[in-house]
Each structure stands twice: as structure tokens, then as C-alpha cells.
Amino acid sequence: MTDTVDKAQAASVPPEQIKAIPVRHYGRWVAGAVVVALVALIGVAFSNAKINYSIIPDYVFDSGIVNGAWTTLYISVLAMVLGVVLGIVLAVMRLSSNPVTSTVSWFYIWFFRGTPVLVQLLLWYNISLVFPILNLGFYKNEMTQVMTPVLTALLGLGLNEAAYMSEIVRAGIQSVDEGQTEASHALGMTQGQTLRRVILPQAMRVIVPPTGNEFINMLKTSSLAYAVQLPELIKKATDISSTSLAVVEMYFVACIWYLLLTTVFSIVQYYVERRYARGTTRNLPATPLQKIRTNLTKMNMLSLSSWRR
């Protein structure tokens, strides 16, 4: 009894804080200096290069470039949508117990992951060699008429993406604990309900980050559609450079747009990931906006309190 009383008394007296001399990290200073020197060196080299930087701002909002950026954006979005939808189908096929569907899915992934996208794009571009005439019964036309650059790029990029997406979706589905399926079945839910209501929402947490990565990759991979005459950013930059004779400068302009697009989608991805983190962390981290808001109110309170004094 007396022991516990002593402890209680001891707790009311704050313990002496440790005051020690912190460890010096000399290595960090050296490494920092080396990195700064290297960055400066590269900066100086680029600024002395035979590149006419002053004309870059003139072309950032050039109508051709803006059109190209818009084409890059929409072809990437459409190809990604095609890739995600077909990817989910392929993943479910791959995991199905039907040997025919799972083998077909395996073969699809093997082929489309194993050959270069550029070749796939060129194959769609020349598909009229295989099917000279498209005949859907209600619609008949020359294949060369049907395969516009947009459709060629969409098929080439989307079907390739589906192979990657299916592996991402499959990993996501398989990451969900088997107990979830059992609990869902035990409640009388069917396989479809289980997949839709229980498995996929949890798989999303695993699926979203690499999908964001895939999309950012897609924005840049779509530049290969230049080879099939799609008027996207790189094609437009090349076209302009042939008249303005500023080749590297035009590619820099394109890079500004690529960086802009990828930055915007990185932010979107952050919020989507946050949405699917529900239930996995006890407290969701504050969004940057929320952080700014709380900091602002704190500052307001401080300034107000000092003001009143």
C-alpha cells in the first residue's frame, strides 16, 4: 500500500529532463554539399547549352501544342478506361475455375506484355493486311477507312494496358483475406455479390496506387502513337519544330505539358487513395487543404489573441 502511495507522489514531481549534446552528422553535410555541387553543375551546363530558352514560353500555349496536349489527355483516358474494364474481365477470367477462360487470359497477358507497344500499334495500323474489309453485317467498309489514327491508338494502347491492368487487379483480388469470402458466403451472398460488395472494395486499396502509376505511364506512352499519325503532343511538337527549326525547344514545351498533366493526376490519385483507405487506418491523414485550413485558423487565433492583448 505505502509503495503505491510513494509512486503516486513520485509521479506528481516531474522527472529531470535529459540534456545531452546531440550527435554531429558530418557525413550529412558532406553528402549535401556534393549533391548541391552536382545539381549546380548540371544547371550551368544546361544554361550554357545551345538551346534558345527564350522562345519556349511563346509556344507553351500555341494552339497546335494545346491541341496536342488535349489529344494526349483524351487518348490516355480512353485507353486507360478500356484497359481497366478489359483488365478486370481478364483478371476474373484468369481466376475462374474454367480452364478455357483462364488459359485464354493467360495467353492474352503473355502476348500483350511480351511484345513492344510500338509493334502492337503498327500492327493495328496495318490491320487491313489481315482484314481488308470490315463487315459487321449492318456496317461494311474498307478497313483502311475504319482504322483512323484515334481508333488505332485507342486499340493499341488500351489492349496493351489491359494485360498490365489484369495483373494488378488479380493481385488486388488475391490480397483480400479468404475469411472475407467465407463470411460473405456464410451470410447467403452469392459469388457475384461477394465480388462486388466485399472483395473489390477491399482490393481497390491495392489496385489504386499501381493504377495511378499506369495512368501516368500511359500519358507518356501515348507519345508512341506519333508513329501511327495520331496528332498528339509529340507529333505536334515535331510538326512545329520542322518549321520553327527549334527542335529541342519544342520537346521542352511538350515536357512542360507532360509534367503538368502528371502533376494534376498525382493529386487526383492522392484523393482516390484516401477514399479507399477507409477502415484500414484508424484516423485518415488530413488532406493538404485541411492542413492549410487548420494552420490558418491556428494563426488567426494567435494573431487575435496577441491583438487583444
Partner 1 sequence: MNAMVKAEGVHKSFGPAHILKGIDLEVSPREVFCLIGPSGSGKSTFLRCINHLEKINAGRLYVDGTLVGYRQSGDKLYELKEREVAAQRRGIGMVFQRFNLFPHMTALENVMEAPVQVKRESKAVARERAQRLLDRVGLGDKTGHYPSQLSGGQQQRVAIARALAMEPKLMLFDEPTSALDPELVGEVLDVMRDLAQDGMTMIVVTHEMGFAREVGDSLVFMDDGVVVESGHPREVLTNPQHERTKSFLSKVL
Q: Residues binding partner 1: what is the number (CB under 8 A)?
A: 24
Q: Candidates 8-16, 176-184, 213-221, 257-265 — which segment interacts with partner 1 by CB under 8 A?
A: 176-184
| Residue selected from 177, 266, 287, 291 as contacting partner 1 according to rule CB under 8 A | 177
17: left (phi over 0), alpha (psi -120 to 50) or beta: beta
Half-sphere exposure of 276 (CA within 13 A, CB side): 18
Q: Does 185 bind partner 1 (CB under 8 A)?
A: yes
Decide if residue 6 touches partner 1 (CB under 8 A): no
Binding flag, residue 180, partner 1 (CB under 8 A): yes
Cα–Cα dist 70/73, whole Å? 5
Q: Which helix (H) or strand (E) holds 133?
A: strand 133-135
Phi (first) and psi of residue 99, to 5 degrees: -65, -30
The residue from 43, 201, 285, 288 that contacts partner 1 (CB under 8 A) is 201
- Residue 12 has a CB neighbour count (10 Å cut-off) of 6
Contacting range for partner 1; rule: CB under 8 A; set: 84-92, 130-138, 141-149, 278-286: 278-286
Compute the half-sphere exposure of residue 263: CA atoms within 13 Å on the CB side of its CA.
Answer: 6
DSSP 47: H
Interface map 221-260 toward partner 1 (x if CB under 8 A)? ----------------------------------------
Residue-by-residue DSSP string for 256-281: HHHHHHHHHHHHHHHHHHHHHTTTTS
Residue 191 interacting with partner 1 (CB under 8 A) = yes
* Binder among 280, 305, 308, 309 for partner 1 (CB under 8 A): 280
Residue 103 binds partner 1, judged by CB under 8 A: no
Beta-carbon contacts of 133 under 8 Å, excluding residues fewer than 6 positions away, are: 140, 141, 142, 143
**How many alpha carbons lie under 13 Å from residue 214 in its C-beta half-sphere?**
25
**Residue 282 C-beta: closest distance to partner 1, Å:** 6
Residue 58 vs 182, nearer CB to partner 1: 182
On whether the CB atoms of residues 124 and 156 are closer than 8 A, the answer is yes
279 binds partner 1 (CB under 8 A): yes
Look at residues 219, 187, 188 and name the one whose alpha carbon lies nearest to residue 79.
Answer: 219
Q: Which stretches of 115-142 are DSSP H helices?
A: 117-125
CB of 207 to partner 1, least distance (A): 13
278 in contact with partner 1 (CB under 8 A)? yes
- Minimum CB separation of residue 178 from partner 1 in Å reads 9
83 in helix, strand or coil? Answer: helix
Instruction: State the nearest-atom distance from the C-beta of 205 to partner 1, in Å.
Output: 8
Nearer to partner 1, 25 or 278 (CB): 278
CB of 192 to partner 1, least distance (A): 9
Q: Which of 145, 190, 295, 303 binds partner 1 (CB under 8 A)?
A: 190
| Under rule CB under 8 A, residue 12 binds partner 1 | no
d(CA 83, CA 89): 10
State the Cα–Cα distance between residues 300 and 307, nearest whole angstrom.
10
Quick check: 202 binds partner 1 (CB under 8 A)? Answer: yes
Binding site for partner 1 (CB under 8 A): 177, 179-180, 182-191, 193, 197-198, 201-202, 276, 278-282
